[in-house]
Amino acid sequence: MTSTALAARPATKKAQRAASTEKLLAAALRLFVSQGYRHTTVDEIAEAGGLTKGAVYFYFRSKETVLMTLLDRVEAVVVEPMRARVGEAGPTAHDKFIAFIHGQARLGIEGPDEVLLLILMSLEFAGAGGAIEARLRAIYERMYQTVEEIIALGRRRGEFRTDLRLREQAAIIMGAHDGTFLEWYRRKSAFNGRGLTRALRVTLLQGLERLA
């Protein structure tokens, strides 16, 4: 083994384990986004990660565990920072809503695969039952809760309209949120990211703002 290879190899078993699991998770993320969970095999994850099929089972026990681990990461990367940004913005609901939209738009540039995994898996597992669907619902519920809190604040402050049910308004916002990510994924070359974000922000805010 060359000195370069020795230098690149993790020094401890713990570091080796961390490096191997990261390779497998990165490979699985790419595959689940590009071809779906059900059409991705453990063999493909192993091959894409440069490891053996046995390594996948050694580190994760099953393909389902791989996805559940990725969903834990999605919650940490997507949901936690989003709630923090909204909490720190303010004091108006308008400010918090813009923080929500702009923060999610940055994710489209910095970590699009995590958001896309959440969206695509929520579609693939809709109505399937089981632990994965429950985990997806729990993550989305936190996002819905954040949006509903912003709308409720806007209503209390007299910024947002009150003639529509709050839950339906939040559903439309989240539908536009997910749809915009999918459009960016499908037709990235057709859009300017800043322009797409502005269109989303303006369109949604006009629907939320109190009628004159």
> What average pLDDT does range 7-36 have in this prediction?
87
Residue 161 burial (CB < 10 Å; 0-12/13-18/19+)? middle
* 125 and 201 housed in the same domain: yes
| pTM score of the predicted model | 0.87
Residue 129's domain spans which residues? 64-208
Q: Find residue 209's DSSP bridge partners.
A: 160
* 18 and 89 housed in the same domain: no
Looking at every residue in the chain, the average pLDDT score rounds to 91
8 A C-beta contact, residue 211 and residue 163 = yes
How would residue 1 be classed by pLDDT, with cut points 50, 70 and 90? very low
Helix (H, G, I), strand (E, B) or coil at 90: coil
CATH number of the domain to which 168 belongs: 1.10.357.10
Instruction: Tell whether 144 is covered by a domain.
Output: yes
Q: Where are the beta strands (DSSP E) in 20-174?
A: none
Dist CA 130 CA 137 (whole Å): 11
The residue that leads in pLDDT, 69 or 12, is 69
Dist CA 137 CA 141 (whole Å): 6
**pLDDT of the residue at 185:** 86
Q: Output the six-digit token pair for 143.
A: 């996002």
Dist CA 169 CA 199 (whole Å): 18
The residue that leads in pLDDT, 193 or 29, is 29
**pLDDT tens for each residue of 24-45:** 999 999 999 999 999 999 999 9
Instruction: Tell whether 3 is covered by a domain.
Output: no
How would residue 9 be classed by pLDDT, with cut points 50, 70 and 90? low
H-assigned helices in 78-111: 80-88, 93-110
Determine phi and psi for 209, rounding to 5 degrees. -65, 150
8 A C-beta contact, residue 145 and residue 173 = no
Dist CA 57 CA 34 (whole Å): 22
**pLDDT of the residue at 175:** 95
**pLDDT of the residue at 108:** 77
Looking at the 3D structure of the chain, how many domains does it have? 2
Determine phi and psi for 160, rounding to 5 degrees. -110, 155
* 132 and 42 housed in the same domain: no
Instruction: Name the domain boundary from 61, 77, 100.
Output: 61
* 188 and 91 housed in the same domain: yes
Instruction: Tell whether 29 is covered by a domain.
Output: yes
How would residue 106 be classed by pLDDT, with cut points 50, 70 and 90? confident
**pLDDT of the residue at 173:** 95
* 36 and 104 housed in the same domain: no
Helix (H, G, I), strand (E, B) or coil at 209: strand
* 57 and 77 housed in the same domain: no
The residue that leads in pLDDT, 112 or 72, is 72
**pLDDT of the residue at 13:** 80
* 155 and 189 housed in the same domain: yes
> What average pLDDT does range 45-64 have in this prediction?
96
> What average pLDDT does range 147-158 have in this prediction?
96
* 23 and 79 housed in the same domain: no
Q: Would the pLDDT of 4 be above 60? A: no
Instruction: Tell whether 167 is covered by a domain.
Output: yes
**pLDDT of the residue at 109:** 76
* 72 and 157 housed in the same domain: yes
CATH number of the domain to which 51 belongs: 1.10.10.60
8 A C-beta contact, residue 45 and residue 28 = yes
The residue that leads in pLDDT, 176 or 191, is 176
Instruction: Tell whether 2 is covered by a domain.
Output: no
> What average pLDDT does range 97-120 have in this prediction?
89
**pLDDT of the residue at 195:** 87
